[in-house]
Amino acid sequence: MNHKELIASMAAKLNAPKSIVADLLETTVTTCTELLVEEKTIGFQSFGNFEVRKKEERLSVHPSTQIRTLIPPKLVVNFKQSNILKDKLKNLRHNE
Amino acid sequence: MNKEKISSQEIIDLVSSKSSVSKRVAEEFLKVLISSIEEALLAGEVVKIKNFGTFKLLWNEPRKSVNVQTGDDILLAGYHKVSFTPDTILRDLVNEPFAHLLPVELDSENPEPIQEKTDVALDPLRIFTDQAAEIKDLLSEIQALSSAGDSKILKEESEPVLPVESTVVAEDVYKLIQEESVVEHIQEEQVAIQIPNEVTEPVQTQKEAGPIQESPVEFVYEEKHQKSIVTEIDKQQPVDSVVSIHEERQFNDENKSGQSVNSIPELDSMEFLKDIKPRRKRKVWLLIVIVIAVIVGLSAGLYLFCPPVTDFTNSSIEKVGKITDNVVASVANLFHTKPKQTPPVARTIIVPKDTMVNDSVDDEVAVVEKESVDSLQVMFDNPRVYTKFIGSEVVKPGNRLTIMSKKYYGNKDFWVYIYEANKENIPNPDRISEGTVIRIPKLDSRLIDVTNPRCIKKAKELHDVYVKNKVN
């Protein structure tokens, strides 16, 4: 499901035009992004938490060339699902 | 790090204020958003939100674990996990504080400074060769100073004593041994000194045997000779002590310069006594000079034959250069101070001189080799002019400059010289057009010495230069 499909399904549920839904989604996304840039954790009840984690710098060695590279530290967005979502997903059958 | 948690309610407030919709609408919207994402995920779909990221379901396999309390094996059930991969925009925005940091290849750090060092590394080399030349000059000066009086003796020192001389010695000893009683007493006292008792017997037998002698016996003869002189001249003095010291100190001289002993048989014992102390000093100097000569020789050898050293690129060259500089400096100091410390008597210089002559020979060899290396460097630095050609080849399909180089010079790396000689005919060294006549230049054999890593290195450098030129 890509961006457009998501907007379409939401518009159908909300009985609202797609343009408004698209605007609202964009606003939500920018708001979340701004908050994450400020390194704040966003928690959606029943869905999960978005948080920023710091990955420390590390030394990586290329397995075949043996070139050692110093990877600088970085900040990444991490999503952790809530237990409610996890329980919902438990009912899902594992196909593979 | 600010770990302040923003609840969904705050998000709703923010969104409603930003897009000027009622909170109720915003709340509804967010609920629908989350529920539709969940639905899509439950349907096994991937949800992608523009500028935000992708939600995806991942299956975590069930795994075995151990109950920490009881130690029993337990099986953790597999579960689905919602993974979120942030979009590049979000990722970059979040990582902004560290965005300026780039991965650093640690191993690639080394070659760069070394390449910068190449020019610097050549300087110690030049200093070293300069100093070597200085030493050479000094040595030749010292040689010239003392060679006037001592050249003959020096030659004899390096050569074994001639049998003719020894016969003369023998005759002298003949006469002297007639005062056997005195001499033999001394000999017996001298057991501590290297002469074994047996040797005294052969000496006596050789009185009858005549002048055919072996080298160890010669020494004995000479020693006896010396002792007898000492005893003759200075019987009142404590003979054995004088002789023993004299023995130790004179051993080299008397062994080597038998003739001088013969020609000056009346050396005063007093003179010897005077000489004893300086000689001891000289022996120490002799040792130091030998050690330094060995170090200089070794470093020169290392310098010339070790590939990493000849590379100039390795940082070890600097160390070697410094060490050799120190050595050279100390050697130079030694030679400077030498004339002051040793008495200016011509004879006293003989012993150190002997070794110094050898040193100078070694050094000359080293210097010559260094010069050849230097000339190689000059050859590298100067643009090569190709006037003589040893052959020419018409390019056929599949023929390459490297193949020609291998054929004519024995190593494919030297193709650069062929390229240099035919630059005007070859626009691109990688692709030489068919039918082009390639002239194979005659090169100095030192320049294409397959065994010399410097030559190959230079060729590779040229290779880099030309290949880069082509790329540019």
pLDDT for position B298: 84
Per-residue pLDDT, averaged over B9-29, amounts to: 86
Tokens of A9: 């399904």
Q: Evaluate whether residue B236 is within a structural domain.
A: yes
Q: Evaluate whether residue B384 is within a structural domain.
A: no
Q: Is pLDDT above 80 for B284?
A: yes
Tokens of B223: 């020693």
Q: Are residues B393 and B340 in the same domain?
A: no
ipTM of the complex: 0.87
- In the listed set B35, B63, B98, which residue is the last one of a domain according to the structure? B98
CA proximity to B8, closest of B20, B28, B18, B167? B28
Q: Rounded mean pLDDT of chain B?
A: 65
Q: Are residues B163 and B218 in the same domain?
A: yes
Q: Are residues A31 and A57 in the same domain?
A: no
The Cα–Cα gap between A76 and B83 comes to 13
Tokens of B407: 């054929």
Per-residue pLDDT, averaged over B64-92, amounts to: 88
Tokens of B353: 């001189």
Q: Are residues B139 and B249 in the same domain?
A: yes
Q: Are residues B64 and B56 in contact, defined by beta-carbon separation less than 8 angstroms?
A: no
Q: Evaluate whether residue B145 is within a structural domain.
A: yes
Residue A67 to residue B105, Cβ atoms within 8 A:
yes
Q: Is pLDDT above 60 for B151?
A: no
Q: Is pLDDT above 80 for B14?
A: yes
pLDDT for position A35: 87
Q: Are residues A50 and A26 in the same domain?
A: no
Q: Evaluate whether residue B371 is within a structural domain.
A: no
Q: Are residues A50 and A87 in the same domain?
A: yes
User: For the sheet containing B5-6, what is the strand order?
Assistant: A74-81, A48-55, A41-44, B5-6
pLDDT for position B229: 45
Q: Are residues B452 and B337 in the same domain?
A: no
pLDDT tens for B309-338 read: 444 444 444 444 455 555 555 555 554 544
Residue type for B154, please? L
Per-residue pLDDT, averaged over B116-135, amounts to: 66
Per-residue pLDDT, averaged over B30-41, amounts to: 86
- In the listed set B68, B98, B128, which residue is the last one of a domain according to the structure? B98
Q: Are residues B308 and B453 in the same domain?
A: no
pLDDT for position B107: 64
Provide the chain B residues 103-142 that lie in CB contact (below 8 A) with chain A: 103-108
Q: Evaluate whether residue B298 is within a structural domain.
A: yes
Tracing tokens 């925005």 back to the chain, one arrives at B93
* C-alpha A55: how far from chain center: 17
Q: Evaluate whether residue B363 is within a structural domain.
A: no
pLDDT for position B469: 64
| Higher per-residue confidence, B40 vs B147 | B40
Q: Is pLDDT above 80 for B246?
A: no
Band of pLDDT at residue A96, cut at 50, 70 and 90: low
A88 has a chain B CB within 8 A of its CB: yes
Q: Are residues A93 and A54 in the same domain?
A: yes
pTM above threshold 0.95: no
What chain A residue is nearest to B47 in terms of C-alpha separation?
A1
Residues of B in contact with A92 (CB under 8 A): 42, 44, 57, 80
The Cα–Cα gap between B356 and B62 comes to 84
| Higher per-residue confidence, A88 vs B121 | A88
Mutation to test the A interface, candidates B12, B13, B15, B55, most A Cβ within 10 Å: B15
Per-residue pLDDT, averaged over A19-36, amounts to: 87
The Cα–Cα gap between B264 and B258 comes to 10
Per-residue pLDDT, averaged over B56-67, amounts to: 87
Q: Is pLDDT above 50 for B401?
A: yes
Q: Are residues A53 and A91 in the same domain?
A: yes
A49 has a chain B CB within 8 A of its CB: yes
Q: Are residues A56 and A95 in the same domain?
A: yes
Q: Are residues A25 and A4 in the same domain?
A: yes
The Cα–Cα gap between B144 and B200 comes to 42
The Cα–Cα gap between B458 and B447 comes to 9
For chain A, what is the domain count? Answer: 2
Q: Evaluate whether residue B2 is within a structural domain.
A: no
Angstrom distances, CA of residue B127 to CA of B121, B310, B371, B446: 10, 16, 13, 23
| Higher per-residue confidence, B194 vs B440 | B440
Tracing tokens 């030394």 back to the chain, one arrives at A59
Return the CATH number at B64.
4.10.520.10
pLDDT for position B154: 46
Percent of chain B scoring above 70 in pLDDT: 48
pLDDT tens for B348-367 read: 444 444 444 444 444 444 44
Q: Are residues A60 and A95 in the same domain?
A: yes
Q: Are residues B272 and B247 in contact, defined by beta-carbon separation less than 8 angstroms?
A: no
Per-residue pLDDT, averaged over B81-94, amounts to: 88
B82 → closest Cβ in A48, A72, A90? A48
Band of pLDDT at residue B241, cut at 50, 70 and 90: very low
Q: Are residues A41 and B4 in contact, defined by beta-carbon separation less than 8 angstroms?
A: yes
Per-residue pLDDT, averaged over B207-213, amounts to: 43
Q: Are residues A58 and A86 in the same domain?
A: yes
Per-residue pLDDT, averaged over B233-260, amounts to: 44
φ, ψ at B64 (rounded to 5°)? -85, 145
Concatenating the DSSP letter of every residue in chain A gives: --HHHHHHHHHHHHT--HHHHHHHHHHHHHHHHHHHHTT-EEEETTTEEEEEEEEPPEEEE-TTT--EEEEPPEEEEEEEE-HHHHHHHHTSPP--
Band of pLDDT at residue B103, cut at 50, 70 and 90: confident
Lowest mean pLDDT among A27-36, B268-277, B414-423: B268-277
Domain that holds residue A76: 46-96
Per-residue pLDDT, averaged over B78-102, amounts to: 86
Q: Are residues B264 and B393 in the same domain?
A: no
For chain B, what is the domain count? Answer: 3
Return the CATH number at B426.
3.10.350
Q: Are residues B25 and B129 in the same domain?
A: no
Per-residue pLDDT, averaged over A31-45, amounts to: 87
Domain that holds residue B294: 113-357
Q: Are residues B459 and B344 in the same domain?
A: no
| Higher per-residue confidence, B332 vs A79 | A79
Percent of chain B scoring above 90 in pLDDT: 0
B98 has a chain A CB within 8 A of its CB: yes
Q: Are residues B191 and B82 in the same domain?
A: no
pLDDT for position B61: 86
Count CB-CB contacts under 10 A for residue B36: 21
Return the CATH number at A85.
4.10.520.10
Per-residue pLDDT, averaged over B113-122, amounts to: 47
Q: Evaluate whether residue B221 is within a structural domain.
A: yes
The shortest C-alpha distance from B313 to chain A (Å) reads: 20
Per-residue pLDDT, averaged over B71-83, amounts to: 86
B58 has a chain A CB within 8 A of its CB: no
| Higher per-residue confidence, B175 vs B394 | B394
Q: Are residues B159 and B83 in the same domain?
A: no
Tracing tokens 């965005």 back to the chain, one arrives at B99
CA dihedral sign, ordered B277, B280, B284, B289: positive
Q: Are residues B292 and B152 in the same domain?
A: yes
- In the listed set B316, B341, B357, which residue is the last one of a domain according to the structure? B357
Q: Are residues B350 and B397 in the same domain?
A: no
Residues of B in contact with A32 (CB under 8 A): 11, 52
Band of pLDDT at residue B116, cut at 50, 70 and 90: very low
CA proximity to B437, closest of B421, B454, B413? B421
Residues B170, B174, B175, B178: what is their CA dihedral angle, to the nearest 10 degrees? 150
